[in-house]
Amino acid sequence: MAVNLDGSGQYRIATGVGFLDHMLEQLSRHSLIDVDLQAEGDTHIDFHHTTEDSALALGEAITRALGDRTGIQRYGEALVPMDETLTRVALDLSNRPYLVWRVDFPTAKLGDFDTELFREWFQAFSQTAGVTLHIETHYGTNSHHVAESCFKALARALRRAVEIDPRKADMVPSTKGVLGGSL
């Protein structure tokens, strides 16, 4: 697992879960975060652990890359349409993980992938990335489009939040002087 927050959206992703790879590729491309993620898991049982572990690893890599979060914009939001689907993501790289998930999938599966695992992915990512993350799909009738709009909206919001604020490039974006935890 490796990331470059100042990348161009290049990726090398292989989790053994095709649809998850597709979503992570979208995340990398639309966030402009370079992602190198190779995973081997117990996919012969199901995709739960590999899905969750990929999110934990990606979130941790982003946290490490952010360091003390000096200079970042901190907040990001995106409204992403995908055909009949519309999803909104708002996030705060506060180092205080929290997930609000208001997403319904019309089907229980996408091929062999259980759609309930998407919430697991975003929850795990929120925890290790230290992000307060709100995801809401306003409407959508195609599960593929719902999932993809969630990942693309996260990508676009992350892209904004990790950017350096040229007016405060040497400051942590908090009146406490630190993000998350206590002083």
CATH code for the domain in which residue 97 is found: 3.30.230.40
- What the block records as the tokens of 73 is 């914009």
Asked whether residue 167 is assigned to any structural domain, the reply reads no
Phi-psi region of 133 (alpha: psi -120 to 50; beta: other; left: phi over 0): beta
Q: What predicted TM-score, i.e. pTM, was given to this entire model?
A: 0.95
Separation between Cα atoms, residue 23 and residue 80, nearest integer Å: 14
**Average pLDDT estimate for 76-84:** 98
pLDDT score of 74 = 96
The number of folded domains in the chain is 1
pLDDT score of 163 = 96
- Determine the 3-state secondary structure of 154 from DSSP: helix
Asked whether residue 146 is assigned to any structural domain, the reply reads yes
* pLDDT above 60 for 136: yes
Q: How confident is the model at residue 170 (pLDDT cuts 50, 70, 90)?
A: confident
Separation between Cα atoms, residue 92 and residue 94, nearest integer Å: 5
Separation between Cα atoms, residue 9 and residue 152, nearest integer Å: 12
* pLDDT above 60 for 182: no
The secondary structure of residue 40, as a DSSP letter, is -
Range of the domain at 72: 2-162
Asked whether residue 157 is assigned to any structural domain, the reply reads yes
pLDDT score of 183 = 37
